[in-house]
Chains A and B, each alone.
Chain A
Amino acid sequence: MLKINSLTKKYFTRTVLDNLNLTLNEGKIYGLLGPNASGKTTLLKIIAGVTQPTSGSFSVIGKKAGVDTKKIVSFLPTINHLPRWMTVGNCLSYFQDFYADFDPKLAKERITAMGLEPKQKVSSLSTGMLGRLKIVMAMSRHAKLYLLDEPFNGLDPISREKVLEIILESSQEDSTIVIATHIIAEIESIIDEVIFLKEGQVILMGNVDDLRQTRQKSVEELYREVYDNV
């Protein structure tokens, strides 16, 4: 599904991603874990196409980075990327106009289920409601790769639960979901694989169940062990 070859990203003198190599398979949910400044967001931004790598390359189902990958990658950034002047209904039409894989029927159903109204303005939504709208927009595409950057940031427990529900609903055999977070407890129950990033490099990667069995630890305990000195 996603193949990353020797990806490096430098900001002036600081190296954020350091010769990263990674292969993700389809039909799985990956937890991309790491403390602040470990390179999680930069990696997702590069795959989403909003940042360019200093060197290296990646491909999604064999397609090289560019318009072709943007057609099949759905990105949910941490910040609010939805224009504040738009209504919820405008957001729906916007995604429908630009993404061939957007499912407006599914989006409308989810919007109602999330307690949102098409006439509500994005600027009037609370953080929780905005988080719900963002996840509905990102996950109502039939994308091949979903990149979710801190999807639970600033959300109340009820909103978190609803976001989690949508992520699970959207998990398909022919698609891959990557969730970057440092709130491990929230995603531990739904992830199949885990990737630990540290200083722009993968320091540990594997199947969650295998890691639990071999190390006799939960992912959260493993996280504490790996990043103990960070």
Chain B
Amino acid sequence: MFNLIKYEWLRRWKFFLAGILIFIIANLEIISQLSLQKSPRNLTIVLMGLVFAMALALFFDHIGRLYRSLFSDEGFLEFTLPLRGYQFLGAKILAVLLECIALGIFVSIALYVDYLYLNQFFPREAPTPLREDILIIIVQIFFLLLLSYIIFLLTIYLSMTLSKTIFASLKHGKLIAFGCFLVIYKAIQRITEITHSHITDMSLPGIIMARPDWLTLTAILIVLFISTSYLLDRKINL
């Protein structure tokens, strides 16, 4: 399983390195402009645009990871590996999860370094330090976004897997699978709405979601993961 992650990263280390370098350069550029009390230059805008484009590319790459395995010739290599469905899918999801966490940590460190710099040399321009309770909310929002993102990815992965398993022999398998994606997405939305409306009273100040909310999202993630793994393991039709 970890070997699969290794090759996922070996494949795109140049992309990650380029992203990190562009982000650092863009960040330095912004800081230097801020410290000189100048408005952002064209270069700053271009660099930030590049960072945004790379983030978007990473999102499509996350979707494309299973798509490539299912719909390209590489699938003939990956699906003949002696791995179970959950190991195969787990490797893909774990790689995405670790990348998102690494990205979050990297951006946080960069912002913290910016803050230290501004605080030391330009105390007036430096933002006020974050209170602990706000910090906790930010961390919660990060993990909530991460969990929602993984659920969204798994919904896409399940739909793609359906088109290469249950609907593989049908002429419009991909179209039906897309219909399934819309249905599953709507169903997840409805489930989270229902559970949330029942538990809003339990939410505490400073806590953005009550425990049952997290449990619901985690349960959805587990169901999506198990069903996709099962199909990849037992029903694949390349």
Residues on A lying within 8 angstroms of B by beta carbon are 10-12, 45, 48-52, 66-68, 70-71, 73, 75, 77, 79-83, 85, 90, 94, 97-99
Contacts and interface: CB of A to CB of B under 8 A. Distances in A.
A94 B79 contact: no
A63 to B, nearest CB: 11
Given A51-B237, A52-B235, A70 B82 contact: yes
B82 A79 contact: no
Given A50-B75, A51-B237, A73-B80, 7 more contacts: A45-B238, A48-B76, A50-B76, A70-B80, A75-B80, A94-B7, A97-B3
Interface in B152-207: 169-171
Contacts of A50: 75-76, 79-80, 236, 238
A24 to B, nearest CB: 19
A70 B81 contact: yes
A83 B238 contact: no
Contacts of B130: none
Contacts of B83: 67, 98
A99 B3 CA distance: 11
A82 B84 contact: no
Nearest to A51: B237
16 contacts: A11-B169, A12-B171, A49-B79, A49-B236, A50-B76, A50-B236, A51-B238, A52-B236, A70-B82, A73-B80, A75-B76, A80-B73, A82-B77, A85-B11, A98-B3, A98-B82
Contacts of A85: 11
B82 A81 contact: no
A68 B7 CA distance: 23
Interface string B73-102: 111110111111000000000000000000
Closest 3 CB pairs of A and B: A81-B76, A81-B77, A70-B82
B14 to A, nearest CB: 10
Contact of A97 (B6, B171, B237): B6
A129 B235 CA distance: 34
